[in-house]
Amino acid sequence: MMLSVETRHAIHPETAKGFDTAALRKNFHVGGIFADGEIRLIYTHYDRMIVGGAVPAGAALTLDQVKECGTASILDRREMVIVNIGGNGTVTADADYAMGKGDMLYLGMGAGKVSFSGEGRFYILSAPAHHTYPSRLIKIDDAAQVKLGAQETSNERTIYQFVHPDVMKSCQLVVGMTKLAKGSIWNTMPAHVHDRRMEAYLYFDLAEGQRVMHLMGEPSETRHLVIANEEGAISPPWSIHSGAGTSSYTFIWAMAGDNVDYKDVEMVSMETLK
């Protein structure tokens, strides 16, 4: 089994203003994390969030010690959410969990080493934990659903809340999924920031040749990343996070930080954006 870990350090907004495209992508773009027979992680210094991917591709993969975490096993002082964006697969930790596409698994602190098998493509999210909450598999049909937007504004979408205060308890991870209706392309607009939490995005179900223009940066100093299918972005607390696609798509959003209050945000008016 091959495990690789990349470290991303936190970037000050004044520094980010001077980045060219290559520097923006090096620090904030997430790509290449789904590779057959590998586990690839990105360890960020934004609330110590880890994002990554595991693709068994016919041979089981096991995630245990990650040097960057400083513990014997990754879940000794962490919680984790795993999202299956591929075919049927199984995750084994404190129990065996069969996962279909769109299902999310929460693993509490101390759940042990984590193994992946089957045809799944597993998106991994992890953050430090201070308490052990029960592990829980949440099928997409069991997630809380919130419908927002309208066809007239090209942002008709359904928000699926999985690891969320309205569904279950966690230490600091808040994770869900947003599916855009056919013909809608805008997500999270009008934009907002939440200085008390970082966020990570993963875009998928994006057709070949299509892209998402992910907006980031301070409201008065916006930048963008061009993102392909099964790629994403690391969004620092000072940054907006919004975007538009060349077709409809689905994205996973994950937050970690001071609290788990989904509505603790500062809205940014369209007139403010530059």
Which residue positions form the known binding site for Zn(2+)? 192, 194, 199, 241
Beta strands in 17-156 (DSSP E): 29-30, 38-44, 50-55, 61-63, 78-84, 89-92, 96-99, 104-107, 114-118, 122-128, 136-138, 144-148
Pairing mode of beta strands 2-8, 38-44: parallel
Please name the residue that has the structure tokens 């230490």: 171
What separation in angstroms does the CA of 192 have from each of 16, 67, 158, 163? 18, 35, 18, 21
Q: Is 19 helix (H, G, I), strand (E, B) or coil?
A: coil
Q: Is 265 helix (H, G, I), strand (E, B) or coil?
A: coil
- Identity of residue 141: D
What separation in angstroms does the CA of 5 have from each of 43, 64, 65, 205? 7, 13, 11, 25
Contact 234, 198 (CB under 8 A): yes
Q: Which residues face 266 on adjacent strands? A: 193
Q: Using the 8-state DSSP alphabet, how is residue 264 labeled?
A: -
Q: How many CB atoms lie within 10 A of CB 152?
A: 7
Which residue ranges make up the annotated binding site?
A: 192, 194, 199, 241
Distance CA 212, CA 250 (A): 11
Burial class (CB in 10 A: 0-12, 13-18, 19+), 162: buried
